[in-house]
Amino acid sequence: MVKTHPQWLRTQELIHKGVIGELRAIVGAFSYFNRDPANVRNKAEWGGGGLMDIGCYPITMSRFIFGEEPTAVAGLIERDPEFKTDRLSSAILEFPSGQSVFTCSTQAVPYQRMQFLGTKGRVEIEIPFNAPNDRPTRIFIDDGRDVFGGGIRTETIPVCDQYTVQGDAFSRAIREGSEAPVPLEDAIANMAVIEAIFLAAESGRWEKP
């Protein structure tokens, strides 16, 4: 749903237009607090844990914005002693054009943010993943003139339901015989990165997806 949300399409447009110069780095965070033992997110055997649940989003959107696949990844994981799921995970993704770093956690303050750092400016998405369906979303565009926010302007994206947008896009692809907005191959490529991060956390080395 994130890849069809207008705030992400606008961010992609701004970066591809060179508004921030050349994209060099992506920085992300995504977290919430949940220690309910009955919740799927805390069931290791069901694919629970932060990396699979929410780490997948900064990964897929880094790939989306760079328009490239990472060539190598590094990872650190801390597991819950009871659930055995990853409750705190951080990763570095090396892309041909730059780097992406993110931290995700299932036992930290609820928070999410994505920033895109270029050679001349910066774009920040305020609520990148759980975009609300009852209020506008915002993108901050910083021209980099100072560190106090003097060069920041705000773009407001009208209210929409990202799941409705996603469903409509998929429906059009079926009815018109066009390409699906997010093809299956993209999900497979994202899973390869997730698996490489798990492997890197175990090996202590950079791993290739």
Q: Which domain holds residue 49?
A: 2-203
What is the rounded CA–CA span in Å between residue 130 and residue 2?
9
What is the rounded CA–CA span in Å between residue 126 and residue 204?
33
pTM metric for this prediction: 0.95
What pLDDT shows up at residue 152?
98
What pLDDT shows up at residue 146?
95
What pLDDT shows up at residue 77?
98
Amino acid at 104: C
Q: What is the pLDDT of residues 83-113, one digit of tens each?
A: 999 999 999 999 999 999 999 999 999 999 9
Q: What is the pLDDT of residues 19-44, one digit of tens each?
A: 999 999 999 999 999 999 999 999 99
What pLDDT shows up at residue 75?
98
Average pLDDT over residues 113-131: 98
Model confidence at 185, pLDDT cuts 50, 70, 90, reads very high
Average pLDDT over residues 173-201: 96
Amino acid at 78: E
Q: Looking at the domain assignment, is residue 209 inside a domain?
A: no
What pLDDT shows up at residue 154?
98
Share of the chain above pLDDT 90, in %: 99
Number of domains in the chain: 1
Q: Looking at the domain assignment, is residue 208 inside a domain?
A: no
- CATH number of the domain residue 161 falls in: 3.30.360.10
Three state DSSP letters for 170-201: HHHHHHHCCCCCCCHHHHHHHHHHHHHHHHHH
Q: Looking at the domain assignment, is residue 119 inside a domain?
A: yes
